[in-house]
Structure 1
């Protein structure tokens, strides 16, 4: 069972490093946002994970941080987070927007007066893309003299390179994902629905200590495998067709994903060849990863190699995106990427090819090292017919 966690001391060190970045950017404070589905920034700082409602962490450049929750979450937050400062704001209620009669809330104006009595002039917003309109409108109305600044990059870089504790959580998450995939391969049968297959994975994730799925779990069969992003359906599993799995467990906030195509019985040669080439390309990407290498160079070398092999027409994107508290998070690895790969950055090697009537994805987690990459999952790095 999972006993892998992030210690409180590491959370406290994260806040200190974040505050140093806030001061470096000449901000007076940052307001960090999360939703139930994209909880990463707030959980990274506080261990709090909103349920139904949204949430935030208010971090002044100097002083103690404050966890901000909605009407129903104060007791839950006090049990989950180590923060001693927790405040309720109506802006973090759920999207049904209950009036919450009889409850009392503070405002952003009250928050500043209580925790930064000297006042603020520049407030950084972290989680810009998921900050809700009610929050934004309340900030504009209650803090009319305060400049709101997009400040995601005060926090994101702290998450790029993983600590030993983070890596331990991720390795455990991948271990559980492999157990779930193995159970599927042992139990899947023609006639099952995609939903029933995902049920096997969910059973195994919780059985082995995962706290939740790491992402929306994939099982597709047939034509729908050419969807780059999708969800399972009542579609039935059939023989001699590509079946795509992407299975991920979450451990102490950290996600994983193991992706592979397989079949029940042999595939037609055209489909089998693309599946097998996808695995070759997957391994090629892993060969290209090493600390000190420009990220954009990895992408350009990968894409050039795919085209040289004669498979460029099947390429949608690739080959990597970062993974950590979210299955897809910054930094993306794209042809325009200028950053250097650093030791203990973590990426999903994400190899997706598609044709008009099917597609495939090989996916595994990798830790960047000086001499190459350490795979967090390697058990299913082969094409399987069952």
Structure 2
């Protein structure tokens, strides 16, 4: 097995330096990025630390050295991973069971800010706003009642949106592993297997070939479960004429990929074929829109017009793309409300999802609701886009 690509120590230091400059430009005294085990990206982007059970933060002062903020149990683990040497334990980052830890000495927000700034902060920016635990927010308020606390996600999201060559290498490898797992799953899939059995095959493939983790729960969603936009595999048994939403994922040094397609098991009826083949055309059409300088809102508008013109608007839940990088679904989304243009080395997931609402014509014709997802990643180049996985070209069938 070859050594997977990695982000260098130098690149982590460059990220921290850029972030500190942005903190000063924003007029902040200090900025704290937050992460947890599920949404690990902000903290890992700056430190390579990935919390387990507990949450974590990175404190970047306007001047001076950054500090990794962790829970009481994680010190040895954090020291083994972190690119930030200064690490401090705080009770606010403890696990959700809220143990008291009477025998563990911890720091406070007042003590770490005094160490970082030498004085109380007047203005604090927070990133990871949507997942910030209440104990962290209230702890900052209690420690600094006169400070202004503001949402400051853009300081890191602007950086994460445009990828370096090392980040792109990690994504390419993650997509290679995801596609490898998907092709293995299709080759082994047959009626009588459970969704979880297929997911287990995928896990074996990605770990055996160098992945550090899956990028998301492996989507093996059969029959009526294929209509789920978000789901988990279960004990459902794959039937002789099921449509399976198959989207398998791998993560390489913090970068997550998902490559997949709808898989038809056995005979394909007219309703399923109509939506699957239209979904593929919509997916291929999206690829033609991904060019540098194109307003993201224009991509979304043209995609919606295409779907509407073809007569499938009632089956569209969202579309057509979202950002991909450390998290398989991350900013920026491509939506009609988007206010930015595509730029070289931005990376997106072409996420083409359609489903049949319960009383829709195709659901009635099929006898039950179903859905599908064609998915591949891409990098915006100077003239168009580079697909990370093999281009989808035709309806996919497994053994019936």
Query: Which TM-score band applies after superposition, normalised by the shorter structure?
Result: over 0.9
- In the alignment, what sits opposite 2:207? 206
**Of 353, 367, 385, which aligns to 2:379?**
367
* Offset at residue 195 of structure 1 (A): 0.8
Verify the 8 A CA contact 1:292 1:370 in the aligned structure 2: no
Matching of residue 242 in structure 1 with residue 238 in structure 2: no
- In the alignment, what sits opposite 1:154? 155
Verify the 8 A CA contact 2:12 2:45 in the aligned structure 1: yes
Matching of residue 183 in structure 1 with residue 184 in structure 2: yes
Query: Deviations 1:21-59 (Å, cap 9, x if unpaired)?
Result: 111110011011000000000000000000111100000
* Offset at residue 185 of structure 1 (A): 1.1
Q: Distance in 2 between matches of 1:379 and 1:294?
A: 24
Matching of residue 163 in structure 1 with residue 164 in structure 2: yes
Verify the 8 A CA contact 1:323 1:347 in the aligned structure 2: yes
* Offset at residue 244 of structure 1 (A): 0.9
Q: Distance in 1 between matches of 2:317 and 2:146?
A: 46
- In the alignment, what sits opposite 2:80? 79
Give the TM-score taking structure 2 as reference length.
0.95
Q: Structure 1 regions of 5+ residues with no counterpart? A: none
Q: Distance in 1 between matches of 2:172 and 2:23?
A: 31
- In the alignment, what sits opposite 1:297? 298
- In the alignment, what sits opposite 2:51? 50
| Runs of 4+ that moved beyond 3 A | none
Verify the 8 A CA contact 1:239 1:263 in the aligned structure 2: no
Instruction: Report the more deviating stretch, 289-298 or 117-126.
Output: 117-126
Q: Distance in 2 between matches of 1:82 and 1:125?
A: 21
Aligned length: 386
Local SS of the residue matching 1:280? helix
Q: Structure 2 regions of 5+ residues with no counterpart? A: 359-368
Verify the 8 A CA contact 1:302 1:319 in the aligned structure 2: yes
Q: Distance in 1 between matches of 2:245 and 2:40?
A: 27
- In the alignment, what sits opposite 2:260? 259
**Of 385, 391, 396, which aligns to 1:384?**
396
User: After the TM superposition, which residues 269-348 of structure 1 pair with which residues of structure 2 at under 5 Å, given as runs?
Assistant: 269-348=270-349
* Offset at residue 379 of structure 1 (A): 5.4
Give the TM-score taking structure 1 as reference length.
0.98
Q: Distance in 1 between matches of 2:157 and 2:80?
A: 26
Verify the 8 A CA contact 1:176 1:210 in the aligned structure 2: yes
* Offset at residue 74 of structure 1 (A): 0.7
Verify the 8 A CA contact 2:121 2:144 in the aligned structure 1: no
- In the alignment, what sits opposite 1:104? 105
* Offset at residue 143 of structure 1 (A): 1.4
Kindly report the root-mean-square deviation, in angstroms, between the aligned alpha carbons of the 2 structures: 1.0
* Offset at residue 3 of structure 1 (A): 2.5
Verify the 8 A CA contact 2:110 2:120 in the aligned structure 1: no
Local SS of the residue matching 1:155? helix
Local SS of the residue matching 1:162? coil
